Amino acid sequence: MERPYVVGIDIGGTNTVFGIVDARGNIIDSGKVKTQTYLSPDKYVNDVCENLLPLIDKIGGLERIKGVGVGAPNGNYYTGTIEFAPNLPWKGVIPLAAMFEERLNVPTALTNDANAAAVGEMTYGAARGLKNFIMITLGTGVGSGIVINGQVVYGHDGFAGELGHVCVDRKTGRPCGCGRKGCLETYCSATGVARTARELLTSRTEPSVLRDIPADDITSKDVYEAAEQGDVIAKDIFEYTGRILGEALSDFIAFSSPEAIILFGGLAKSGDYILRPIQRAMEENVLNIYKGKTRLFVSELKDSDAAVLGASALAWELKD
């Protein structure tokens, strides 16, 4: 292979992480810059490239790089732009793919982080060989990457796959950061779990080790550790969260009938405490013709690597 490497750049609100990746998903080298400190996207792209180029030189220079993949919030695959990303310092529409392409002279693809995660899973992870699956990312928010016939679904405008904002309770749902209410994300994100913890700790009287943690700081990791100690309220937080997610998944199945749904992110690491209620609610609520057909499992990619791997995987799909 003449160009055996790709570059993955994952743009987060706090940090930007980039790495050089080989075809088997090994991250050969990596680095990072602090996204938040760059008020100008030009300076940002420049600094990312200045940090990246020495790593590229070490593996033989730009002619060994097949392409660059960028994962970014509100990233649009069709245009290569990020558009009005609320957690990034740059306002409006920023043509990031073109900016990297111009600076590095290597073909560059860009999409949002959840779509990148799906491509990464398909290229290096648990979804190898799968043509129809849905990736659900459970982080600060809830994102999704939908793959149908082996292709990520981008929709007519590049913004398809916002399953975190499907409404699970239109009447009495929680307010969402998007301005609507009852979005799946308000229950199954990190903040959703913390809110559920607060609500259960208030409405119930049992003792719980979670009562020792300031309610706003409770993470799914705390809940997991409490559940491991046999904490009843902690287990019920996972039951509640898992049921809502499983019900939502049963509707997603009616859309694209995927062979698998893959979970990724903090909450997904809570093992059977969360997986069992998700699986149960999914199977109980799914239409008969789909019962028992859709596998549910957790991403195989390491959290710390997944974002860069996902972004990098986009680059293998670039046409020469």
Task: Retrieve residue 155's tokens.
Answer: 């929709």
Helix (H, G, I), strand (E, B) or coil at 165: helix
- 162 touches a second copy by CB under 8 A: yes
Residue 300 corresponds to which amino acid?
E
- CB-based contacts of 222-226 (< 8 A; 24+ apart in sequence): 223/193, 223/197, 223/270, 224/269, 224/270, 224/271, 224/273
- CA 210, CA 197: separation in Å to the nearest integer? 8
Q: Phi/psi at 145 (nearest 5 deg)?
A: -130, 125
CB of 310 to a second copy, least distance (A): 20
CB of 120 to a second copy, least distance (A): 20
- 213 touches a second copy by CB under 8 A: no
CB of 256 to a second copy, least distance (A): 5
Among positions 14, 202, 217, 289, the unique one binding a second copy when judged by CB under 8 A: 289
Among positions 256, 300, 317, 318, the unique one binding a second copy when judged by CB under 8 A: 256
Among positions 22, 247, 283, 300, the unique one binding a second copy when judged by CB under 8 A: 247
The secondary structure of 80-136 as a DSSP string is TEEES-TTSS--SEE-HHHHHHHHH-S-EEEE-HHHHHHHHHHHHSTTTT-SSEEEE
- CA 312, CA 69: separation in Å to the nearest integer? 5
- 49 touches a second copy by CB under 8 A: no
Q: Which residue, 56 or 122, is less far from a second copy as judged by CB?
A: 122
Among positions 79, 132, 140, 219, the unique one binding a second copy when judged by CB under 8 A: 132
Q: Which residue, 122 or 163, is less far from a second copy as judged by CB?
A: 163
* Residue list 70-129, contact with a second copy (CB under 8 A): 74, 83
Residues that bind a second copy (CB under 8 A): 74, 83, 131-132, 146, 148-149, 151, 153-163, 165-167, 170, 178-180, 247, 250-252, 254-259, 285, 287-290, 293
